[in-house]
Amino acid sequence: MYINITDSATANNKGSSGGLTNYLEKENRLYKKQDPEYWFNHRGKHIEPYEVRRSIDNNIAKLSKTDAKFFLINISPSQKELRYLKEQFGTESAKDQLKIYAEKVMDEYAKNFKRNGIDSAKDLMWFGKLENYRYYTHKDKEVLNGIKKRGERKEGEQMHIQIIVSRKDISNKVKLSPMNNSKGKNEMHSKKLGQFNRVAFKQSGETLFDNLFEFDRKLKDTLVYANIQKNGSLTQREQLNTLELGAEQNYHSKSFANELAKDVAEGLFHSTSGMLQSVGETVAGFLEVLMKPVYIPGSEINPIEEAQKRKRKKRKGQSQGHSR
């Protein structure tokens, strides 16, 4: 899941939202003149573009000419996630499910500011637009290499959602900036703009998708995995490799490997052994899983069940020893 908040350098967000709103109508102009894709938010599913522009442009009380007036949030599921949604719900219903998901993402956006009265999408001025395609730009290597032309549609599953959200809350009184990354460290700054942790926001979007749709995300497909591989220390990458090895064995180890990876990303463990020790009673089970072959349904021995049997036998022996 790719979630990104675009800043003023590319969104041109210090003036009217009309240019961006018009740009995001491009698919309706090209493909959906008879059956357009409407804007949506928590209040409705058939919002016209002029309503979006008017609402955003009028929600700018006490903002100066140089202040950002709105932000653009890009919610782009991976091709694997999109295929899963279409398999579960069908093509058209998958679009509706993605819109429901987007509203819940905006709930997380609101909560991330940690400000009184800003608790859900209903406290924000925002509008979403589903797009079915992506297009090659002059920056894409395929265009630079002459394989594709600028403006051509990209292949594969490309459905995504673009959201315009006002800098001010729904009451037009509270300033909210997702570009403030103080994470609460600067108390006075956070009181004015609200604190915002962009990494935590992106992580909440991934977790939300997995829980909402019961998506079985592999460790390699997680945000923390990508962040550790890109920015982590050697120790963190070693810890991640151990978790990856366990997650590849079977679902038992995967179930907590993904959770432990989040702690690894926070730098909570000084060593791999320390990471495993933090799991407590499951350390032995985790290591046993690493040493056992993958369980194949129908085979005579399930390594997970065998490990559990040994644990029960060990506890029984300890209890008998104490009773003597």
pLDDT digits (tens, 9 = 90+) for 266-314: 898 888 888 877 765 445 556 555 444 444 444 444 444 544 554 455 4
Mean pLDDT of the chain: 83
CA-nearest of 170, 160, 161 to 56 is 170
Q: What would the 3-class secondary structure string for the chain be?
A: CEEEEECHHHHCCCCCCHHHHHHCCHHHHHCCCCCCCCEEECCEEEECHHHHHHHHHCCCCCCCCCCCCEEEEEEECCHHHHHHHHHHHCHHHHHHHHHHHHHHHHHHHHHHCCECCECCHHHEEEEEEEECCCECCCCCHHHHCCCCCCCCECCCCCCEEEEEEEEEECCCCCECCCCCCCCCCCHHHHHHHCCCCHHHHHHHHHHHHHHHHCCCCCHHHCHHHHHHHHHCCHHHHHHHHHHHHHHHHCHHHHHHHHHHHHHHHCCCCCCHHHHHHCCCCHHHHHHHHHHCCCCCCCCCCCHHHHHHHHHHHHHHHHHHHHHC
Does 195 or 55 have the greater pLDDT score?
A: 55
Look at residue 27 in the predicted model and tell me its pLDDT.
Answer: 93
Residue 251's pLDDT band (boundaries 50, 70, 90)?
A: low
Residue 72's pLDDT band (boundaries 50, 70, 90)?
A: very high
The whole-number average pLDDT for the span 153-174 is 95
- Express as a percent the part of the chain with pLDDT over 70: 78
Look at residue 10 in the predicted model and tell me its pLDDT.
Answer: 53
Domain edges within the chain? 2-211, 218-323
**Of 13-22, 96-105, 217-226, which has the strongest mean pLDDT?**
96-105
The whole-number average pLDDT for the span 107-121 is 94
